[in-house]
Amino acid sequence: MWMTELPPFIPFFLAAALALFTRGHLQSAIMLAAPLLGGLHLWLYVPADIVYSLPILEYQLILMRTDQLSLVFGYIFHIAAFVLVVYTLHLKDTLQHVAGLVYAGSAMGATFAGDLITLFIFWELLAVSSVFLIWANRTTEATQAGIRYLVYQVLSGVLLLAGALIHHHYTGSLAFDFIGLNNPGGWLILLAFGIKCAFPFLHTWLTDAYPASTHTGAAVLSVFTTKVAIYALARGYPGTDILIYIGAIMTCFPIFYAVLENDLRRVLSYSLINQLGFMVCAIGIGTALSLNGAVAHAFAHILYKSLLFMSMGAVMYRVGHVYASDLGGLYKSMPKTTALCIIGAASISAVPLFSGFVAKSLVMTELLQQGQIVVWLMLLFASAGVLHHAGIKVPFFAFYAHDSGLRPKEAPVNMLIGMFITAVLCIAIGVQPQYLYSILPWEMDYWPYDVTHVLAQLQLLMFAALAFVWMEIKGYAPPELHSVNLDAEWFYRRLVPAGVQRSVNFLHMAKVSTLTMLTGNIQRMQNKFGRSPVARYHLSESWPTGSMVFWISIILVVYLLLDIVFYK
């Protein structure tokens, strides 16, 4: 029984505790064992109908509730965690290792949580553990970005807890199942999920913090936080119409910022939001095919997006930065990293025989079947855009473009192994999608490789590639410059500070003006009084001491008489 009811987060938390007090090969073995043994346990011994609860006072925390939806996310989280542990083995930083294990374990806990209170606990652990992957960069920029990141993440947790309590008030239940928008609690929980899912205007924590993290941290961060949010949306809000339009906007607006960006990890961060939009849109449609598309897309996206972040992490590790304007020609000394990055780029671009194609086509097909033509066109535009900025721009400017003269060493062996495993999975899913389809939560009858789908996608890719080449040749493409491009964060990084400064300046000027006016009036009154006869002839003359005593006595007598009169 204990084999089936062991919560998946336990191996990660146990490994984190042991890694804190070990070093070297022993620490590496412990880190590798957590996702490997945990994943095998989940695959071999845990069926899709387990409910394990823990009584706390008068409440039952459901620490483990399994169904096919949670199991699929559990599988891919274990696979990604193992790959990322391999990828980070060269680090001699226990802080990052422990934070990464707690972060992955928290994602497991949130995925298998059966009630909103348990979800809240792991929701906050996700925030607290992941911020150390940003702060571990140990720069001023990383410290400030981590603080902004933590503010957003904690706010998400507060909204989730408040929404859960209000939802309980209306429904009498804290079960983490379908929530909907039938009461204010549902709206607050959706907003909480939306922050972690990088909804429009709530996304800046992602594009701000991920590029500021360590060279390995961005790859780790790209896997868990946003995919836990996608899982939560699929669990709590399937078929919620508003998500269709939110997702469509998410696919489109990052394209314009990604094209302008010079920092290639920031390009990938915007690309991540673009891909999340496809999943959110599919969840909003709410049919079996679209929900399977969202889950399949999340599964594939975790692999190819982490592969792209890992390749840029390898470049950053060897070169020290990932600025497109200062890179180029790295394929000469980093050919293996180049090839692996191109596989990730082909996958995210949905090239046939790669994982992105077999996942994204589920969503696009269902949009047409549901008659969502406008949304389908938006996602089609977004598909072309992602080829431009993530499929071509990232590998082209990092490894080709102009020759920067840089000749760094190839990435360390462990980083290459981690990237290689991920690349093989990207190709395997693209070539044999039936194995991924077989574990999806809902029944469906779909095959992506027909003439219509393949030709349509190849045409889209060809014209998008030609557009990129034409813009580069004609000089219409935005130049790669060292700059800071702000989008929605302009409000709190520019507008609010400027508004506060102007308010302070206004209050200071008002204070100075008021004091000047009062001082001037008092001075004029003094001058006017000083010219009066009273001041000139009486107050200015010297009074004998005896006269002063006499008048004081008179005043005291008058005061005593008044007191006697009023007392009576």
Q: What's the pLDDT band for 270 if we cut at 50, 70, 90? A: very high
Provide the pLDDT for residue 495. 73
- Residue 173, token pair as written in the block: 């239940």
pLDDT, tens digit (0-9, with 9 covering 90-100), for 232-242: 999 999 999 99
Q: What's the pLDDT band for 490 if we cut at 50, 70, 90? A: low
Helix axes 68-87, 24-45, angle to 10 degrees: 160
Nearest Cα neighbor of 222 from 280, 302, 146, 144 is: 302
- Max avg pLDDT among 135-144, 298-307, 519-528, 554-563: 298-307
Provide the pLDDT for residue 91. 92
Q: Are 16 and 101 in contact (CB under 8 A)?
A: yes
Q: Give the separation between CA 273 and CA 197, rounded to whole angstroms.
A: 8
Q: Average pLDDT for residues 530-546, to the nearest whole number?
A: 57
Provide the pLDDT for residue 271. 94
Q: What's the pLDDT band for 387 if we cut at 50, 70, 90? A: confident
Instruction: Look at residue 545 and tell me whether its pLDDT is greater than 80.
Output: no
Containing 53, the helix (H) or strand (E) segment is: strand 51-56
- Residue 4, token pair as written in the block: 């089936």
Q: Average pLDDT for residues 374-395, to the nearest whole number?
A: 89
Instruction: Look at residue 217 and tell me whether its pLDDT is greater than 90.
Output: yes
- Residue 472, token pair as written in the block: 């580069």
Q: Give the separation between CA 331 and CA 337, rounded to whole angstroms.
A: 8
Share of the chain above pLDDT 70, in %: 91
Q: Are 278 and 428 in contact (CB under 8 A)?
A: no
Q: Could you say which DSSP state residue 543 is in?
A: P
Q: Give the separation between CA 41 and CA 23, rounded to whole angstroms.
A: 26
Q: Could you say which DSSP state residue 175 is in?
A: B
Q: Give the separation between CA 88 and CA 100, rounded to whole angstroms.
A: 10
Least confident span in 263-267, 347-351, 463-467: 463-467
3-state secondary structure of 231: helix
Instruction: Look at residue 376 and tell me whether its pLDDT is greater than 70.
Output: yes
**Residues linked to residue 55 through DSSP beta bridges, in sequence order:** 60
Q: Give the separation between CA 209 and CA 104, rounded to whole angstroms.
A: 18
Q: Give the separation between CA 346 and CA 424, rounded to whole angstroms.
A: 13
Provide the pLDDT for residue 499. 77
pLDDT, tens digit (0-9, with 9 covering 90-100), for 170-197: 999 999 999 999 999 999 999 999 999 9
Where do the structural domains in the chain lie, given as residue ranges? 1-171+186-225, 238-485, 491-516
Q: Are 300 and 291 in contact (CB under 8 A)?
A: no
Ramachandran region, residue 463 (left: φ > 0; alpha: ψ -120 to 50; beta: rest) = alpha
Task: Decide which of 256 and 199 is more confident.
Answer: 199
Q: What is the pTM of this model?
A: 0.86
Task: Decide which of 467 and 338 is more confident.
Answer: 338
Provide the pLDDT for residue 468. 78
pLDDT, tens digit (0-9, with 9 covering 90-100), for 155-170: 999 999 999 999 999 9
Instruction: Look at residue 404 and tell me whether its pLDDT is greater than 90.
Output: no
Q: What's the pLDDT band for 497 if we cut at 50, 70, 90? A: confident
The residue with tokens 């507060």 is: 158
Task: Decide which of 218 and 495 is more confident.
Answer: 218
Average pLDDT along the chain: 89
